[in-house]
Amino acid sequence: MIEELGIRDLGVIGEATLPLGPGFTAVTGETGAGKTMVVTALGLLLGARADAGAVRSGAKQAWVEGRWLVPEGTPAAERVGARVAETGGEIEAGELLLGRSVSAEGRSRAVVGGRSAPVGVLSELGDELVVVHGQADQQRLRSAVAQREALDRFAGAALQEAITEYRAAFRSWRTDAEELERLRADHDARAREAAELRAALDEVEAADPQLGEDVELAERADRLTNLEDLRLAAAQAHELVSAESPVDDAPDAVTLVESARRHVERVAPHDPALAPIVDALANAGFLLADAAAELSSYLTGLDADGARELELVQERRALLAGLIRRHGTTLDDVLAFRAEGGLRLIELDGDDDRIEALEASVDRLEGEVDRLATRVTELRTEAASRLAEAVTAELAALAMPDAELTVLVEPAAEPAAHGRDQVSILLRPHPGTEPRSVSRGASGGELSRVMLAIEVVIAGTDPVPTFVFDEVDAGVGGAAAIEIGRRLARLAERSQVIVVTHLAQVAAFATNHLSVVKGTDGQVTASSVRQLEGAEREAEMARLLSGLADSESGLAHARELLEIAAERAA
């Protein structure tokens, strides 16, 4: 239940606080005073799309805040509490604060339980807390979807459980059926893909490339290409370091260093400073001897048939380059293709087995969908007769004594997510006329009363904490308007009811009467909201009846209407 609604800089409303509370609240006011902004404010709190044009001229942003009382112990309260907790907000002592701001640039921000939250959370909470009916919603009742939803709400928990079970089976059936259809349609193409993929994988497997092989082959090719230069350089270096046959008796490096060591070693006893030099020359000799041995080993290990090996290396490199061109840009891409292609080939080769399994699954699920759809149809059909009877009785009380409502449940062409039923609400306004669908034949006034009658009836099986009606009395007047007011008062016995109206006959039944008052300073029009009682309420009722708040006849009529409403409500 909405305890209080605060509005600032929304439309023509500068700042206003609406005390709401339980029962039946009527919101009235002159045309253009901003009554619709009350519904707009509630819409923003319930996640409706923000419109920068709704921000009051000259203001930086509009702000709406609602204080909800969420009683503990109900399923709806548990769901609301869990969702608020997920956002980090809190419900303190059964009180939930929701807020929404809209900037002049169109940016929007939501607050849930004292914490910022996505706007979508407001919409989720709104589904649990409030049902809003405006003139657009009355028109929506003309749609087959809205008519089916109304019947499903009335049918109650048994139907909801059956639909939930049906939807799970339907989703599984459609998922498997779509995959089966795709596999069958793509069978030839997938077979060609498998053949091409198998050939490509066979080519890669025959080559059997190894990780890093391309780098290793490049290095070997470079070495083999320069084999003679390497042999010549190594031989010359070996001769200079440790010549086996000195040329022209020229000493090699090993001989020169050894000679130097002997010269210094001979005189070293005379000067201790020469000892480290002797050691250094000895170490140099050892290093040169090692280098000479390594050069000799290197020369011995050079390929005897380098030309043949180079040819083989280049052939292998060409083979790998071809694979790289066909399957990527690097050898790593080729290796990835081998791994991923193998998995894909397993999938493609399993098509026949998968098709066989899907055919069995689709047949089984189709039978399950048929069984559950039949159960849904049975529950809807049973509920349809009860809904039609109850709404017809309500219409009689809404100044349509001869009207008869019929709810038809007929088979649809194909099963859908909601079942395989097509629901139609038919109205016969007068005896002797043919029942006609409310989607085509009902007038605006008739549609308003049908919608209200349906809500009153459904509230008995699917209670909603708060109902908001925006000019539910459009297109009606006189006795019909009085009965609409009485029925709204009856609905308010179970739920909070907030009605924006221009009819005194409806407002008379309210237990809380708010008036949106327009004032002007010559520049900016601003509206505020006042709670009316006593003489002020009588004056507003007189204005609604006659257009004159101080008309004696209007005031008399207003008092009479309030007395009638009090008697009928009792």
Residue 145 lies in a domain: no
- Residues 220 and 339 grouped into a single domain: yes
Mean pLDDT throughout 73-89?
82
- Looking at residue 570, its pLDDT comes to 57
- Looking at residue 56, its pLDDT comes to 87
Mean pLDDT throughout 400-419?
91
- Residues 300 and 198 grouped into a single domain: yes
List the structure tokens of 325.
């061109």
Residue 284 lies in a domain: yes
Tens-place pLDDT, residues 520-550: 654 556 777 889 999 999 999 988 888 777 7
Mean pLDDT throughout 276-283?
90
- Looking at residue 399, its pLDDT comes to 77
- Residues 197 and 341 grouped into a single domain: yes
With contact defined as beta carbons under 8 Å apart, do 34 and 12 qualify? yes
The least confident of 18-27, 276-285, 322-331, 520-529 is 520-529
Residue 406 lies in a domain: no
Grouping H, G, I as helix, E, B as strand and the rest as coil, residue 318 is helix
Residue 33 lies in a domain: yes
Q: Decide if pLDDT at 73 tops 80.
A: no
Mean pLDDT throughout 274-282?
89
489: containing domain? 1-134+460-529
Residue 388 lies in a domain: no
Mean pLDDT throughout 480-504?
86
The residue that leads in pLDDT, 406 or 447, is 406
Distance in angstroms (rounded) separating the CA atoms of residues 395 and 438: 14
Distance in angstroms (rounded) separating the CA atoms of residues 304 and 449: 106
- Looking at residue 391, its pLDDT comes to 92
Tens-place pLDDT, residues 436-491: 888 676 676 677 778 888 888 887 777 778 888 887 766 677 777 888 888 888 88
The least confident of 89-98, 317-326, 377-386, 476-485 is 476-485
- Residues 18 and 97 grouped into a single domain: yes
Tens-place pLDDT, residues 459-472: 777 777 888 888 77
Q: pLDDT class for 176, splitting at 50, 70, 90?
A: very high
- Looking at residue 475, its pLDDT comes to 65
List the structure tokens of 497.
């009811």
Q: How many CA atoms lie within 13 A of 369 on its CB side?
A: 24
With contact defined as beta carbons under 8 Å apart, do 454 and 423 qualify? no
- Looking at residue 306, its pLDDT comes to 66
Average pLDDT, the chain: 84
> Among 322, 348, 374, which residue terminates a domain?
348
- Residues 208 and 89 grouped into a single domain: no
- Looking at residue 292, its pLDDT comes to 87
Residue 490 lies in a domain: yes
Chain-centre distance for alpha carbon 440: 35
> Among 313, 348, 383, which residue terminates a domain?
348
- Looking at residue 249, its pLDDT comes to 65
With contact defined as beta carbons under 8 Å apart, do 13 and 37 qualify? yes
What proportion of the chain, given as a percentage, has pLDDT over 70? 91
- Residues 471 and 566 grouped into a single domain: no
Give the global pTM.
Answer: 0.62
- Residues 36 and 102 grouped into a single domain: yes
- Looking at residue 324, its pLDDT comes to 87
Distance in angstroms (rounded) separating the CA atoms of residues 415 and 90: 43
List the structure tokens of 137.
């919603």
- Looking at residue 103, its pLDDT comes to 92
List the structure tokens of 371.
């069984």
Q: Is 10 exposed, middle or buried (0-12, 13-18, 19+ CB in 10 A)?
A: buried
- Residues 221 and 119 grouped into a single domain: no
- Residues 198 and 293 grouped into a single domain: yes
- Looking at residue 388, its pLDDT comes to 94
Mean pLDDT throughout 108-130?
88
Q: Decide if pLDDT at 196 tops 70.
A: yes
- Looking at residue 305, its pLDDT comes to 61
Residue 150 lies in a domain: no
- Residues 209 and 344 grouped into a single domain: yes
Mean pLDDT throughout 355-363?
88
- Residues 466 and 555 grouped into a single domain: no
Distance in angstroms (rounded) separating the CA atoms of residues 508 and 28: 11
Q: Decide if pLDDT at 248 tops 80.
A: no
Distance in angstroms (rounded) separating the CA atoms of residues 267 and 275: 10
Q: pLDDT class for 283, splitting at 50, 70, 90?
A: very high
> Among 299, 314, 348, which residue terminates a domain?
348
The least confident of 58-72, 221-235, 500-514 is 221-235
Q: How many CB atoms lie within 10 A of CB 408?
A: 16
Grouping H, G, I as helix, E, B as strand and the rest as coil, residue 67 is strand
Q: pLDDT class for 26, splitting at 50, 70, 90?
A: very high
- CATH (domain of 519): 3.40.50.300
Residue 370 lies in a domain: no
Mean pLDDT throughout 17-31?
88
Most confident residue range from 139-148, 328-337, 345-354: 328-337
Strand order in the sheet with 419-428: 404-416, 419-428, 436-437
Question: Beta strands of 443-483 (E only): which ranges?
Answer: 466-470
- Residues 6 or more apart in contact with residue 140 via CB below 8 angstroms: 146
The residue that leads in pLDDT, 115 or 434, is 115
- Looking at residue 303, its pLDDT comes to 66
DSSP string, 142-172: TSHHHHHHHHHHHH-HHHHHHHHHHHHHHHH
Q: How many CA atoms lie within 13 A of 401 on its CB side?
A: 1
Chain-centre distance for alpha carbon 464: 26
Chain-centre distance for alpha carbon 428: 42
The residue that leads in pLDDT, 472 or 410, is 410
- Residues 198 and 128 grouped into a single domain: no
Q: pLDDT class for 304, splitting at 50, 70, 90?
A: low
Mean pLDDT throughout 551-567?
85
b/e code 268-300 from CB counts within 10 Å (16+ = b): beeeeeeeeebeebeebbeebbebbeebbeeee
Number of domains in the chain: 3
Q: pLDDT class for 65, splitting at 50, 70, 90?
A: very high
Q: Is 314 exposed, middle or buried (0-12, 13-18, 19+ CB in 10 A)?
A: middle
- Residues 6 or more apart in contact with residue 241 via CB below 8 angstroms: 252, 253, 254, 288, 291, 292, 295
